[in-house]
Amino acid sequence: MKKMLFLAAALSSLLFAQSETETCKKCHPQIVDEFEGSMHRNATYYNDPIHKGAWDLHPLKEKGDYSCKECHAPLAKNEEEIKDGVTCASCHTIKDVEEHAAKNKNVFGKNPKTFYSAEAGREKEKVIYKQESSWFGMNKTTVGSPYHDIDYTNEKFYNGQMCMGCHSHRQNGEQLMVCETGKEGAQNKEENCITCHMPKVQGTATTIRHSQTHAYHGFAGSHKNPEMLSKYVDLEFNKNSSGFDVIINNKAPHNLMLHPMRVVELRVNVTSDGKVTPLKPLSFVRAIGNENGPSMPWLANQVVTDTMIKANEKKSVPYTDALKKGDKVEVQLGYYLVTPKAAEKLNIQEKKELQKFNVLKQKSFIVE
């Protein structure tokens, strides 16, 4: 009965106009809290300074044509809603994904209150909420959510393909591939975009029907929670006659970094007889640009350099520094979201936290 009263309270407060997340928060508080800090929620020029920097320089801005919206705030109908970025419904109403050469396209379901989702064991269920019989009548059949219907039958929510309307690839006007994630990570239920980037974490998915865990909605990525992904990258060490190798093992089914602004860096320190020697850092990038070198994505017509660590690559990096028994070799693999130089172009120099070196993985080895 307590539950019912709570529900009544939740439902009556829904009658007042409020933002989508405030509504969802009534019954999915933990998921909404996680989501508030995510890059999806913060994907537009209101909350993402990198996006704002790029948009401010973009030729479409002058024309007032915020076409970026298609992926950065797909359901926004006005300026106010652009603030909300990629909303709950922008994902949960994706029915299908159409494939196209320049970029894919999300196909949304007809009913804005039918949410697609995934749950092991319920793959064949469609939960339709019937007001009279199951809620206000307080019958035994109060299955599902009193606010929306749920369709568990969309396999794209099990294999990660629902992420691919926005994440698959994007070409610019020059038909140059600006970024590409690759389909390999959206093939099966066992390991895909969702299992890696939305791992199950402690806490109930809804306040109404308790579960031990729920899919993490803060989205682990390069801005947020990279530590949740560090287990998918490994570092190995191999001493040989001419020095040593550091082996980077990328277990992700896509390039280690995807956006052309990112720079991956490998740092190695050798400690010998108490003296620390930092070796020269090594960078891995996929830079795009034109005849004049690296450029903003929309001005690029070629790949300038591509040393990025590829999908599932095991990359061996040779060092010719001599080591002796007992030396300590500390290895750090990390990345910059934007380099200080790019930050200058984007006019975000004062945003120091976006220019710092982020450690993804570190390990140390003692020479035997």
Q: Please, which of residues 102-141 interact with ligand HEC by CB under 6 A?
A: 103, 115, 117-119, 127
Kindly indicate which of the ranges 257-265, 266-274, 275-283, 301-309 contains the residues binding ligand HEC, using the contact rule CB under 6 A. 257-265
Residue 163 found at the interface with ligand HEC (CB under 6 A): yes
Give the residue from 233, 255, 37 showing the smallest Cα distance to 167. Answer: 255
What is the greatest pairwise CA distance in the chain? Answer: 79
Contact between 323 and ligand HEC by CB under 6 A: the answer reads no
Binding residue count for ligand HEC, defined by CB under 6 A: 96
| Residue 254 engages ligand HEC in binding (rule: CB under 6 A) | yes
Interface residue with ligand HEC among 56, 70, 99, 155 (CB under 6 A) is 70
Residue 257 binding ligand HEC, by CB under 6 A: yes
Residue 235 binding ligand HEC, by CB under 6 A: no
Q: Which position among 37, 46, 96, 145 is part of the footprint of ligand HEC (CB under 6 A)?
A: 145
Q: Which is nearer to ligand HEC, 168 or 327 (CB)?
A: 168
Closest residue by Cα to residue 337 from 326, 361, 353, 324: 353
Please say which residue, 78 or 202, places its beta carbon nearer to ligand HEC.
Answer: 202
Residue where the block lists tokens 């999300």 = 106
Q: Is 344 in the site for ligand HEC (CB under 6 A)?
A: no
Q: Which of 114, 135, 151, 157 is in the footprint of ligand HEC by CB under 6 A? A: 157
- Tokens 């401010």 belong to residue: 56
- Identity of the residue, 71 or 270, whose beta carbon is nearer to ligand HEC in the bound complex: 71
What CA–CA distance (Å, rounded) separates 331 from 268?
5
Burial 56-67 (b: 16+ CB within 10 A, else e): eebeeeeeeebe
Among 76, 82, 176, 252, binds ligand HEC (CB under 6 A): 252
CA–CA distance, 282 with 285 (Å, rounded to integer): 10
Q: In whole angstroms, what separates CA 54 from the centre of its chain?
A: 19
Q: Is 350 exposed, middle or buried (0-12, 13-18, 19+ CB in 10 A)?
A: exposed
The nearer residue to ligand HEC, 77 or 280, going by C-beta atoms, is 77
Binds ligand HEC by CB under 6 A, chosen from 30, 82, 84, 91: 91
Question: Whole-angstrom Cα distance, residue 162 to residue 363?
Answer: 35
Of 67, 307, 362, 364, which lies in the binding site for ligand HEC, with binding defined by CB under 6 A?
Answer: 67
From candidates 176, 179, 264, 329, binder to ligand HEC by CB under 6 A: 179
Binding window for ligand HEC (CB under 6 A); candidates: 35-43, 268-276, 277-285, 324-332: 35-43
Q: Which of 54, 235, 296, 308 binds ligand HEC (CB under 6 A)?
A: 54
Whether the Cβ atoms of residue 348 and residue 54 lie closer than 8 Å to each other: no
Nearer to ligand HEC, 209 or 314 (CB): 209
CA-CA distance, 358 to 213, in Å (whole number)? 28
Nearer to ligand HEC, 165 or 294 (CB): 165
Q: With CB under 6 A as the contact rule, which of the stretches 131-139, 165-173, 235-243, 283-291 interacts with ligand HEC?
A: 165-173
Token readout for 299 is 């001005």
User: How far apart are CB 276 and ligand HEC at their closest, in Å?
Assistant: 27
**Interface with ligand HEC in residues 283-322 (CB under 6 A):** none
CA dist., res. 224 & res. 48, Å (int): 12
Using CA atoms, how far apart are residues 57 and 62, in angstroms rounded to an integer? 9
Q: How far is CA 157 from the centre of its chain?
A: 16
Q: At residue 274, what is the residue type?
A: G
Assess 361 for contact with ligand HEC (CB under 6 A).
no
Q: Smallest distance from the beta carbon of 218 to ligand HEC, in angstroms? A: 8
The residue behind tokens 């106010």 is 80
Integer Cα distance of 130 and 153 in angstroms: 19
Report the alpha-carbon distance of residue 23 to residue 27 in Å, rounded: 8
Query: Among all residues, whose Cβ is closest to ligand HEC?
Result: 221
**Which is nearest to 197 in space by CA: 163, 153, 172, 173?**
163
